[in-house]
Amino acid sequence: MLTAAPIRSVHDRMLLLRSLDSLAGIDDAGLSLLAEHASRHVVVRGQIFETEGARLRRVNIVVEGRVEIQRRGRLVMIVERGRGVGFLSALAADEQGITARALEDCVMLSIPVDVLRTVYEENFSVVRRTLQVLAVSRLKVRGFLPADPRKPPVVELGERPGGELTFVQRVMAARIGLFAQANMDAVVDIARSSRQLQIPAGQLLWRQGDPAPTYVRLLYGRVQCSREGGGQIEIGADWVLGIFDGMSDQRRAYSVRALTDLVALESDYAALLSVFETHRVLAMQLLAGMARPLLVGEDEPGLELS
Amino acid sequence: MDSLIEALADEATRKQARTALLHHGRDALRALTFALGSGAHSRLARWHIPETLAGFEPQRAAAVLLSHLPQEDDGMLRYRSIRALEAIMHRNPALELDKKTLEQAVASSVGRAFRYLERRLALERGAREVPARRTPGHELLLSAIKGKEANTIERLFRLLALRYPAEDFHQIFSALHSDSSRARASGQELIAQILRPPLREAVLALVDDLNDEERLNQGRAFHTPLGFDYEEQLDQMLDSSSETLQSMTVFHIGELGLRRFHDRIAALPRTETTASDIERVLSFLEREARAC
């Protein structure tokens, strides 16, 4: 095994990181940044190597073995080869931290949290990959629907816009959730890439399995989101739909049909990524917002970008 | 070559497009240089040109990015050009950037930051004088100007880092935003040691704790305060090179029903960004005029 060999140099660590599926998609510059600051960390079975009560100071990538993560007495997850220990807590800037216990003898690569933040600042492919992983996790938690059907959201019809929104009205409409306090340049760039849709009741917005280059923000109306052989849920105005599909690089996770006439703003996911690439603070806020519910074990019904 | 440049807009084709453009060498560099300064390609494609240029021969790529900086109106593109220059310098620390062009870009950023500061002050003062001006459009405009002011200062420090590579301007910028007053004072002290007048006074004014009016006064070498009242400030912003600010100003004029701006707004060029707000506000002002 690769890990049986000593992991001494940056080159060794780089090769190791490249072999991990979970890091696929991170470019060489990103892997090299991680490798440069990572150090080998070995723990024995049963050892508790992180204890709750303070912010994490380092994260680990499991190269060999399994780790159990707990927070406030609740099992958060079991981490296996290629997956991270403490990433959710670090991304969410969580004051509580985690308790991590090795279920087997483990070899890990350890990265200081402040270095990790620098890596996110310097290399967008790391941000991109993290968005993918978190989006898949969030979709799983919601049963691959926009919200957990066991906790259906309040469905509002919203106020129907009088006509075609102007550019400034689209900017105002884009200032919701994460973007309410965001730098205006970011909001403007998002609004600029949006198009207004008028969809009659009964029409399909997209089918499960379709490509997912766009996402929509419902301004007015109600839709039904459903999965073949799975659940369904009704969603109303002020929701953003389909964004996690683009983020996770997957096809549409669910079908969406208009239950009433709809007015929506459709945006290209590629444009949103470009905004995050430029506005890293915003990207970090998004990652924190996506990580927090996974960490505390409560998916927040509501805007995917809230 | 145009198709390859346009393919930069799409994440699915970007990597291959970059590789192909690099393979085309000088022809591609020429095409990218032209595309950076022209409106022939989509905004999204243009946004990815700086990083693509950074993959070419460093001296030439840096010269293209640097020479383009002072005249670029798109804030995102300015920022990405600076980031691309940072990447080139990170990989080629011995490379020397043209100091004169960098100083022009620094001066232009300082002037821009003071211009935004003055606009913000005029709007805040005007809303204090007439609270009815505090509409959603006013808040949006104010927020946009604040954002641009903050972005410009952040980019200014990136440019200073490129101009003075031996100094750690990134660290200084972080210190200036620290919660610790000691760290902030230390950041200001370093600026005072590194920069020469009048840049020193202007940069310090942008980052220290003076009141806004006093700060504005300290930047006179880079921006002469115009002393506009509220409506004069709106009038000036109708000529902004930022289509966003222009559109928001038009929108706000519509909210306030300022009919005297009708002909000014009617004469503004319609672009993809501005047309919808211009048309909406013109028809609203005309309806108001008829009703009177």
CB burial readout A22-40, b (16+ within 10 A) else e = bbeebeebbbbbbbebbeb
Q: Cβ neighbours of residue A227 under 8 Å, at least 6 residues apart?
A: A143, A144, A145, A208, A253, A254, A255
pLDDT at A305 over 80: no
Question: Between chains, do A183 and B147 touch, taking CB under 8 Å as contact?
Answer: yes
* Same-domain check for residues A191 and A98: no
Asked if the structure places residue A287 within a domain, the reply is: no
Angstrom distance (rounded) from CA A174 to CA A128: 22
Per residue in A99-114, pLDDT (tens digit) is 999 999 999 989 888 8
The answer to whether B177 contacts chain A (CB < 8 Å) is no
Residue A300 has pLDDT above 70, yes or no: no
Query: Is A235 among the domain residues?
Result: yes
Q: What pLDDT is recorded for position A298? A: 61
A180 shares a domain with A110: no
In chain A, what percentage of residues exceed pLDDT 70? 94
* Chain A contact present for B171, CB below 8 A: no
Q: Hunting for tokens 């309410």 — which residue is that? A: A180
Residue A50's SS3 state is: strand
Tell me the mean pLDDT in the region A189-200.
91
Q: Which domain holds residue A229?
A: 143-278
Question: Chain B window 10-39: which residues touch A at a Cβ cutoff of 8 Å?
Answer: 10-11
Q: Is B149 on the interface with A (CB under 8 A)?
A: no
CATH number of the domain to which A173 belongs: 2.60.120.10
Average pLDDT, chain A: 86
Question: What percent of chain B is modeled with pLDDT above 70?
Answer: 100
The percentage of residues in chain A with a pLDDT greater than 90, rounded to a whole number, is 36
Q: Prior bond to A293 cis, omega within 30?
A: no
Identify whether the C-beta of residue A138 lies closer than 8 Å to the C-beta of residue A244: yes
- The domain total for chain A is 2
Distance from CA of B129 to the nearest CA of A (A): 25
DSSP per residue, B202-227: HHHHHHSSS-HHHHHHHTTTT-----
Looking at the structure, tell me whether residues A114 and A151 fall in a common domain: no
Compute the mean pLDDT over every residue in chain B, rounded to the nearest whole number. Answer: 91
Does residue A303 register a pLDDT over 50?
A: no
Taking CA–CA distances from A171, the nearest residue in chain B reads B140
Question: Is residue A298 domain-resident?
Answer: no
pLDDT at B11: 72
> In this structure, is residue A159 part of a structural domain?
yes
**pLDDT number for residue A1:** 45
Confidence of residue A77 (pLDDT cuts 50, 70, 90): confident
On the question of pLDDT at B32 being above 70, the answer is: yes
Average pLDDT over residues B205-222: 88
DSSP bridge partners of A68: A78, A101
Give the closest of B43, B151, B251 to A185, CB-based.
B151
pLDDT at A301: 43
The residue in chain B having the minimum alpha-carbon distance to the alpha carbon of residue A27 is: B15
The whole-number pLDDT of residue A6 equals 56
- Mean pLDDT calculated for residue range B251-270: 96
Q: Which of A232, A251, A231 is nearest to A242 (CA)?
A: A251
Whether A175 is in a domain gets the answer yes
Q: Which residues of A touch B251 (CB under 8 A)?
A: 166, 168-169
Same domain, A106 and A198: no
In a domain, A288, yes or no: no
User: B282 vs A14, which has greater pLDDT?
Assistant: B282
Residue A132 lies in a domain: no
For residues A59 and A69, what is the distance between their CA atoms, to the nearest angstrom?
12
**In the predicted structure, residue A274 carries a pLDDT above the cut 50:** yes
Is B276 close to A167, i.e. CB distance below 8 A? Answer: yes
Q: Is residue A302 a part of any domain in this protein?
A: no
Q: Which of B176, B202, B177 is nearest to B190 (CA)?
A: B176
Please give the average per-residue pLDDT across A92-97, as a whole number. 87
pLDDT band at A186 (very low <50, low <70, confident <90, very high): confident
Q: What is the mean pLDDT of residues A130-153?
A: 88
- Here the tokens at position A133 are 């992983």
Confidence of residue B146 (pLDDT cuts 50, 70, 90): very high
* ipTM summary value: 0.82
Question: Is the CB of A183 less than 8 angstroms away from the CB of B137?
Answer: no
Q: What is the pLDDT of residue A299?
A: 52
* Residues pairing with A110 in the sheet: A39, A60
Residues 218-247 of B with CB under 8 A from A: 244, 247
User: Domain ends where: A74, A93, A122?
Assistant: A122
The residue of B280, B283, B284 whose CB has the most chain A CBs within 10 angstroms, and thus the best one to mutate to test that interface, is B280
Q: What is the pTM of this model?
A: 0.80
pLDDT surpassing 50 at residue A2 = no
Q: Each residue of A220-272: pLDDT tens digit? A: 999 999 999 888 999 999 899 999 998 888 899 999 999 999 999 999 888 88
Residues A77 and A171 in one domain: no
